[in-house]
Amino acid sequence: MELAKGIKNRKEEAVTSDLTAEIVGSGGLSVYATPCMIRLMEHTAWESVESCMEEGFTTVGILMNVKHVSASPLGAKICCETELSEIDGRRLVFKVAAYDDKELIGEGIHERFIVNAEKFMSKISG
């Protein structure tokens, strides 16, 4: 597949006890944790374009700007949808949204940057 605006992806997960704010340390309630929603959004966006990367290249997350607007209980099914909305050189901008069984629970923008994996890792393992 060729990298182009409009690429979409969708991932689902169930809210289990290990994905709650209480367990991941982002709050004290047994509801879907904001960091878990963000992780799902980032993973869904990454996966949507990974097969478009030239050999040796990948993308890394550089910005998350999202609102978590509704709580989801244990057992809820979470669905994340992403769409590549902008390509600016090596910078990729995604619209991201997450829903539970009832309603929108989060939405926003996620940016990723295309990098040469070997060069990237050599800079941090110095």
Confidence band of 117 (pLDDT split at 50, 70, 90): very high
Q: Is the distance from CB of 29 to CB of 15 less than 8 angstroms? A: no
| Domain at 8-125: CATH code | 3.10.129.10
Q: What are the start-end ranges of the E strands in 15-103?
A: 57-68, 77-88, 91-99
CB atoms within 10 A of CB 23: 14
What pLDDT does residue 126 have?
64
Q: Which residue has the tokens 């290990």?
A: 18
Residue 87 has pLDDT above 80, yes or no: yes
DSSP 8-state assignment for residue 18: G
Average pLDDT over residues 112-117: 98
Task: Read off the pLDDT of each residue in 100-114 and give the average, rounded to a whole number.
Answer: 98
pLDDT of residue 56: 97
| pLDDT surpassing 70 at residue 1 | yes
pLDDT at 125: 78
Cα radius of gyration (the chain): 16
